[in-house]
Chains A and B, each alone.
Chain A
Amino acid sequence: MRRAVFYVLVSFLLIIFDTLLTKFLTVGNVVPDIIVVWIVYVAIREGQIAGLAVGFASGLVIDLVSGQDGMLGLAALTKTLAGFVAGYFYNENRRFQILGGYGFIIAIGVASLMHNVVYFLIFLQGTEIGWLSAISFYGIPSTLYTAALGLLPMFVFAHKYGS
């Protein structure tokens, strides 16, 4: 219970950080997705159900604060999928080794790519913007940036858990 409250609180703080301060991390038009890093962490630490629950709840809040008309539910959907996919990297006996190793980065990359693929598939419906070009110019760079951002917590976990 205590841990659940902790996860809710951190999710909330990260969404505030994401809304207010992500502009400082923007390179060109590419923005890292801090929330995906967090979702992957929760999924590896606690398992698939926790990952997708945190993904769904965070996505819903992001949808509400984003103000994009007609898109409420999209971030909830994509972040749920990210959490679910990241859950496949969960291994109860090796979770700290995974968090402190490159498995964490691979999990972030896979979850973020899944997130972006589904996101653009729905977000670009009815527009002239090509899905492939959106994925190439925004989705993949964003995935790489998000994965690179995951290196920071990975090194912290590696140091902390001695992996």
Chain B
Amino acid sequence: MRGLINIISFFKEYFLLTLCILISLVLLALNDNEQIRSIRSLTVASVGFLQDTFGFIPDYFDLRQENHVLRELNVTLSDEVSRLREAKLENMRLRQLVDLRRRSQFEYVSANVVGKNLQLLRNTITIDVGKNDGVKVNMPIVTGAGLVGKVVATSSAYAIGQILLNKDFRASAKVQRGRVDGILVWEGGSYLSLRNVAKTLDVQVGDEVITSEYSSLFPPGIKIGVVSETHHDPGALVQTVHITPSVDFASFEEVFVVTHTPDTSRIALEQQIPQ
């Protein structure tokens, strides 16, 4: 026994290192555990509160850039509003003509971004709305410019959003002009990529990319960005499509959570197929 204690004492650094590594690995393996989710919910609430409290400290560089972006956006939106008014009137007339029931609109919960975690590609945001506001996991987060991401964790008053520039983010997307579908992923740069797009399909630089109706999480038609580059690798069946996101992730401060919940019966049906 004494010999064992002597060995442990001699190699105590290595024993402690092994113990810490083992605990870390066990935690990594147990991430979906209910208790861990509760602890995380508690920390999300605490951090959100702190970030909210310290939010009064202004970031002048951000404010300057935001001001500039807002001015530009204002001009674009004014133009778009007048065109949308026209479109809405036309839409109403057409709907009356074909006697279509007016589709229910999504509801939006406005939120302030109280924290951003951009450390080592973690790329998440903390927003000041949570379960009490009807926000649930997997709800889309948008701004006026387009899709920001989705909610991945909630507490009563705060939520954490996974932005598009996150390694785990996936979404079904569509090139609006050519109706070409693909999977939206982020591969580590300042752009997004649309995967599984066959070489024969028509995708051009400047095409708008929106969320697809194939997505089980996002409502269709939310703007994602604009095609900035297409590349045809010799020998490959698919083309590389790079998309510049329409949201400026460096400067956004306010977002909306779309209280859209996926159609569970559809997801259940789709999940049955592999079985």
Contacts and interface: CB of A to CB of B under 8 A. Distances in A.
Whether chain B is bound by chain A comes out as yes
Interface in A131-152: 133-134, 137-139, 142
B152 A31 contact: no
Nearest to A47: B13
Contact of B27 (A67, A73, A120, A127): A73
B262 interface: no
Contacts of A128: 185, 187, 193
Interface in B14-68: 16-17, 20-21, 23-28, 30-32, 36, 39-40, 43-44, 46-47, 50-51, 54, 57, 59
Contacts of B126: 67
B132 interface: no
Contact of A23 (B12, B31, B47, B59): B59
A127 B193 CA distance: 13
Interface string B212-236: 0000000000000000000000000
A22 interface: yes
Contacts, number: 140
A52 B17 contact: yes
Interface stretch (B82-90, B114-122, B173-181): B114-122
Contacts of B118: 23, 26, 29, 31
A73 B20 CA distance: 10
A146 B124 CA distance: 21
Contacts of A76: 20, 23-24, 27
B248 interface: no
A163 interface: no
Contact of A64 (B23, B39, B116, B121): B39
B120 A127 contact: no
Interface residues of B, number: 49
A122 B31 CA distance: 14
Contacts of A60: 27
A74 B168 contact: no
Interface of A: 16, 19-24, 26, 29, 31, 33, 48-49, 52-53, 55-56, 59-60, 63-74, 76-77, 80-81, 84, 87, 116, 119-120, 122-124, 127-130, 133-134, 137-139, 142
